[in-house]
Structure 1
Amino acid sequence: MLFHNDKLSVRLLELKDGSLLAKWLSDPVVLEFYEGRDNAFDLEKVHEKFYDRENEVVRCIVEFDNIPIGYIQYYQIDNDERNLYGYTEVPDVIYGMDQFIGEVTYWNNGIGTLLVNSMVEFLVEQNGADRIVMDPQTWNERAIRCYEKCGFKKVKLLPKNELHEGEYRDCWLIEYIN
């Protein structure tokens, strides 16, 4: 268990969680906001993207009331991202994070805000993060509102930054500064 906050807990991804990821990432309602409806995952694709990789991404399952409801990952941004985001001269410890709630019945209940706030606190207190960044697509207003409630600020428009449903979409670079 990485951390626990009220009914929310975050733990490391385990092999047994592959079927959960396949379920969530084949749901068109979830895919509309994460990965794209034209990019459904089966178990093989889940293993390629989430398990068979050697990088510094820490992959986790989000639980609420001991029920797995979503996914979150975090990582120190690399030099390519520092260049893209304009942080080449910034000596700060900078983490990136990505998340989604895969059980849509848990949407719009404040759990996303609790999750983002909790992960920010964890990254600052346990990992020494000076800044935390994300790059949501500009049209994803619900997610952006959640992040802004958690103290993130829009920093920079990233034109045509992410392929989503067949086209490159604009994203906002948003940051939380400790």
Structure 2
Amino acid sequence: MKYLVRDKIFAIGDDYWIEDEDGRKAFLVDGKAMRLRDTLELKDADGRVLITLRQKLVSLRDTMTLERDGETLATIRKKRLSLLRNHYRVSLADGSGLEVSGRILDREFAVEYDGELLADISRRWLRVRETYGVEVVRDDSDHALLLAVAVCVIRMAEKEREDG
């Protein structure tokens, strides 16, 4: 399944739709303004909150957490040493993890579990400006989680670039 994400400079309070490959609104990324820390909600088309994305307040490295039903689902951190490509580690609540690597700011990266590709994020197969695609390779994957991971790592990379 492929999803289309309208890419723009993310600001607190920004809301935008993620569409499925047929152009239907599938998920809403709802930016929460006036919060102490960066917070977003990933909602389904009916407005139900699926995953809450939060920036950790106190952390040595930039960290975001993903929560489902008030419980931590995953924690995302940038790996320390990344020379040519960006690498992020997604630590899942069950003790397993996902690896995110590629050119995040160029919207060309992959999400893998134990060496198996779960999602490919890319602009290369799209003609629409400022849009990137998220192709979830395995149908049995948690699509909302993979989309939340993509949104988080892009947000973290953009913030790191802004901070210099």
Give me the TM-score of the superposition, normalised by structure 2: 0.32
Pick the structure with greater CA Rg: 1
Higher relative contact order (CA 8 A, sep 6+): 1
Give me the TM-score of the superposition, normalised by structure 1: 0.30
Greater helix fraction, Structure 1 or Structure 2:
1
